[in-house]
Amino acid sequence: MATTREREIKNYRRRLHRMVGLYLALKAWGKGTSYIALSRLEVLQFFDMESTPGQRMEGIRNDLKPWFKGFKCYYRENDKTYVQWLFLAQSEDISFLPATSTLSGLAAVKSLIGGLGEGAPKTILFSDISGVPSPNDMITSLALLTSGLKLPIAKKS
What is the tens place of the pLDDT at every residue in 54-100? 999 999 999 999 999 999 999 988 888 899 999 999 999 888 787 77
**The whole model's pTM is what?**
0.86
CA dist list (Å): 139 to 13, 42, 116, 146? 15, 17, 34, 10
Phi, psi (deg, nearest 5) at residue 62: -65, -40
Local structure of 23: helix, strand or coil: helix
Overall size of the chain counted in residues: 157
Report the alpha-carbon distance of residue 97 to residue 120 in Å, rounded. 9
Count CB neighbours of 115 within 10 A.
8
Q: Where are the alpha helices (DSSP H) in 31-134?
A: 40-46, 54-64, 106-114
pLDDT digits over 28-54, tens only? Answer: 888 888 889 999 999 999 999 999 999
